[in-house]
Amino acid sequence: MTDDQARTLHMIGNAHLDPVWLWRWQEGCAEAIGTCRAAMDRLEEGAGFVFSKGEAHIYAWIEELEPDLFEQIRHYVRQGRWVVVNGWWIQPDCNIPSGESVIRQALYGKRYFREKFGIDVPTGYNVDSFGHPGTFPMLLRHTGSTSYTFMRPNASELDLPGEIFRWRSPDGSEVTAFRIQGAYNTSKREMPLPEKTDLHFRKIAEAGHPFMCFYGVGNHGGAPTQANIAEIERRIAAGEALRFSDPQTFFEAVQDGDWPVFDDELQFHAVGCYAAASSLKTLNRKAESLLEQAEAAATLAARHAGVAYPRAEFERLWRILLFNQFHDTLGGTSLESACVDSERELGGVIHGAELALNAAVRHLARTIAPSGHPEDATMLLVNTNGQPAACLMEAEPWVDKDIVSKRIVVDEDGRPVPFQYADPHGKTTGLQRIVFPLEMPPYSWRMLRFAVDDSGERAPPVAFGAPTEARVFETAGYRLEIDRDGAIASLRGADGREIFASPGHRAILVHDPTDTWGHGGKSFGTEGEGMRLEQVRLIEDGRVRKVVEITCAARESRMVTSVVLPEDGEFPVELRVHLDWRERRTLLRLAYPFGAEAMECEVPGGWAARRMDGSEVPALRWVRVRTAGHEAVLVNESKYSFAARDGTVFLTAVRAPVYAHHDPIPVVEGARYRFMDQGEQSFSLWLKAGSHVSRKDAATLADTLNKPIIVTPHVSRSGTAAPTGGWLTLAAEGAQVSTLKMAEDGGGAVLRVWDLDGTGCEVGVDGAVATVRPHAIATLGLGEAGVTHLDGLERALPQADQAPGRPGVL
């Protein structure tokens, strides 16, 4: 870098556009068009101005609705004056989507820009997202980005070794990162551009390196103004060291600098966003999980049943999901009406994924030979996951309301499987819900029968669940004791060791006066009012499990927890929570006092060790804790917000701020407001403890809870395959297998895996072996050439480079 280059201020004309926030998406769509028109006017007025714009979704709107404008944009992209940045589908929340969702942001976004503009977009760019996990350099490098521009956390929230730095992931991948100073926009509320420019010149003088200065009206779109451009032109004419520029030009100028390394996550800002809007978080997880299940099943059906893979439909569904992972949508900070829009859209994704999943399962079922016992209720069980499954399986095989026959469950070899009757979901004569232990390898099927047999049991005629004064419940695997407040006074595994150091699953109502984002702090506190016990019922008491239902209440709210205690202590304890929440500006903590010395959380693309100082932190599907000689995991299906202090993990189950309320606007006593998360919601937690509970165990439990085994009647009359088998042979002991899909181009399949233990691992696929570096992600192509290493955009990696993250290699 020459002295001139080091003194240069890169003026970044942009217009941050939230397609949803304090407006619904229809207004965002209009503003996308208005903003790009305004930017186009500025480009046509003079020769110097350069405009930067990201997010494929915005371009797709314009392509569809304003084709002339789209052509003009293509013209200026070719001229180098309209610069596509970011390359993702949208600027998502970066803590709550799965790692696979992050990769799809890049996969579908970058494929769009390649197809429509013939360009690769190497500039990672999420200028408004509220925090960025430490795995992002790896995910960015894996999907063809070499730099990252962000703004939050700001300097008062996180000390960095410089405003330009090499951001490094645990696997060693690096990107050059830049933190925006001040704000990503200029508007009436922000610092005027002349002062902002002067401020940046002072920063250049202090730091001795170039900066980017962002200008242009934003949030509700807008674009740079004529006054902005005139100000910059005036300074250029006066010989000041600034230029119209863009992030790509800036990063090319600084790429050879000797920048300090930062190897942690970029957190924490707006910690209330991890728990706001339970419904959107739940639907997001369900949509992600079902899409993964549907893609895996459709891939197996394409390979083994010869049916077409619905690639275009999957891309359509992913695009809708990715749009709804936008930072103010999934962060829960949009209008109530916008949240309702998202619920509808995510419902559509879930339905679309279920249609594809059902079709794939039926095609696969057709390849399996008919049952030799057509008189029995046959259950075809399908594991669509890359992890093995071991769980208590619930099913309601149709028995034509036969209430008189005794029945047994038998496996493929006719051997009896222990089972018990459970509470059927319908309250009508003759429905028979059963539960039985089940183990399945990855990507496999089994066929069990619910057969009439005199040695069996008849379904109980009466309703389940008598109230009881008992407070101690025991199976061969677990012993549960409930305290006078309804918390778990004691929970012991088969080894006799207490899982909790003090009462667990304890509800705490914490006053939360913060705004929707949770602005103003990093912690919500862990103290507050408890709940009182109303009732205990023994719901089930059979050969494979006991189910104990605990009803607690506080103020206007009620929490019913069904504790599932398996007979086999290898299975996790399940806590099925049904919450009726009526509190306002109050959050519900659930406390799990593991006596933990260390905590780690699943994050997009891996896991992160987290402080235990009471700070609110985001986590995906699992939290794992360690204490001397003991480990435990807490797995969830829809929650993202946690804190830990004094050995206790706190799950933030629900927050109830005012919708779209931003400090410093006060919440006035007696005024009319709509509060979030009022009413009923359900969620399940799985709990497993022992001398060693590995990350692979955590990932396996998380997969089985979030992507449950499918059970369906076997009605095939034509297949030849055995009643049990696997569609893909997989050995992935140290790895999480997240995704199986067909490649975007060509006829091969794609398998995505992550190293879990930080030691590197080998993954065996149908006899071939691929190596995964420590902490790394690997995208494997399964084709006629065997197993090959790809990047996240499904491009072949050179054989010599299966470590795509090193600087300058890709």
Binding site for Zn ion (CB under 5 A): 18, 128
Q: Please say whether the beta carbons of 121 and 64 come within 8 A.
A: no
In degrees and rounded to multiples of 5, residue 46 shows phi and psi of -155, 175
C-alpha 5/C-alpha 2 separation (Å) is 5
In the complex, minimum distance from the CB of residue 62 to Zn ion, in angstroms, rounded to a whole number: 19
C-alpha 753/C-alpha 410 separation (Å) is 34
The closest alpha carbon to 638, from 698, 582, 686, 580, belongs to: 686
| Closer residue to Zn ion, CB minimum distance, 54 or 224 | 54
In the complex, minimum distance from the CB of residue 129 to Zn ion, in angstroms, rounded to a whole number: 8
In degrees and rounded to multiples of 5, residue 420 shows phi and psi of -145, 160
Number of other residues whose CB lies within 10 A of the CB of residue 492: 18
Written as one letter, the residue type at 500 is: F
| Closer residue to Zn ion, CB minimum distance, 334 or 648 | 334
| Closer residue to Zn ion, CB minimum distance, 292 or 515 | 515
Sign of the alpha-carbon torsion through 101, 102, 104, 105: positive
In the complex, minimum distance from the CB of residue 90 to Zn ion, in angstroms, rounded to a whole number: 10
- Residue burial 420-445, b: 16+ Cβ < 10 Å; e: rest: bbbbbeeeeeebbbbbbbbebbbbbb
In the complex, minimum distance from the CB of residue 485 to Zn ion, in angstroms, rounded to a whole number: 42
The structure tokens listed for 79 are 């001229």
In the complex, minimum distance from the CB of residue 17 to Zn ion, in angstroms, rounded to a whole number: 8
Residue nearest to Zn ion (CB): 128
Number of other residues whose CB lies within 10 A of the CB of residue 20: 25
In the complex, minimum distance from the CB of residue 153 to Zn ion, in angstroms, rounded to a whole number: 15
In the complex, minimum distance from the CB of residue 101 to Zn ion, in angstroms, rounded to a whole number: 18
| Closer residue to Zn ion, CB minimum distance, 137 or 331 | 331
In the complex, minimum distance from the CB of residue 239 to Zn ion, in angstroms, rounded to a whole number: 36
In the complex, minimum distance from the CB of residue 218 to Zn ion, in angstroms, rounded to a whole number: 8
| Closer residue to Zn ion, CB minimum distance, 18 or 341 | 18
| Closer residue to Zn ion, CB minimum distance, 101 or 704 | 101
In the complex, minimum distance from the CB of residue 85 to Zn ion, in angstroms, rounded to a whole number: 14
Strands 648-654 and 622-627, by their bridges, are unpaired
Q: Is 747 helix (H, G, I), strand (E, B) or coil?
A: coil
C-alpha 236/C-alpha 690 separation (Å) is 67
| Closer residue to Zn ion, CB minimum distance, 18 or 100 | 18
C-alpha 356/C-alpha 347 separation (Å) is 14
Q: Which residue in the block uniquely carries the two structure tokens 């419902």? A: 347
| Closer residue to Zn ion, CB minimum distance, 437 or 618 | 618
In the complex, minimum distance from the CB of residue 728 to Zn ion, in angstroms, rounded to a whole number: 41
C-alpha 305/C-alpha 298 separation (Å) is 10
Q: What number of helices (H) and strands (E) belong to the chain? A: 14, 45
In the complex, minimum distance from the CB of residue 114 to Zn ion, in angstroms, rounded to a whole number: 25
| Closer residue to Zn ion, CB minimum distance, 189 or 427 | 189
| Closer residue to Zn ion, CB minimum distance, 128 or 288 | 128
Strand partners, 510: 587
In the complex, minimum distance from the CB of residue 16 to Zn ion, in angstroms, rounded to a whole number: 6
| Closer residue to Zn ion, CB minimum distance, 130 or 594 | 130
Q: Which of the 8 DSSP states describes residue 217?
A: B
- Collect all residues with Cβ–Cβ distance below 8 Å to 60 and sequence separation of at least 6: 112, 319
| Closer residue to Zn ion, CB minimum distance, 228 or 329 | 329
- Collect all residues with Cβ–Cβ distance below 8 Å to 81 and sequence separation of at least 6: 43, 49, 50, 51
Q: Please say whether the beta carbons of 684 and 392 come within 8 A.
A: no
Q: Please say whether the beta carbons of 183 and 150 come within 8 A.
A: no
| Closer residue to Zn ion, CB minimum distance, 215 or 571 | 215
Rounded alpha-carbon distances, angstroms, from residue 510 to 349, 527, 578 = 34, 6, 19
Written as one letter, the residue type at 464 is: F
C-alpha 140/C-alpha 126 separation (Å) is 12
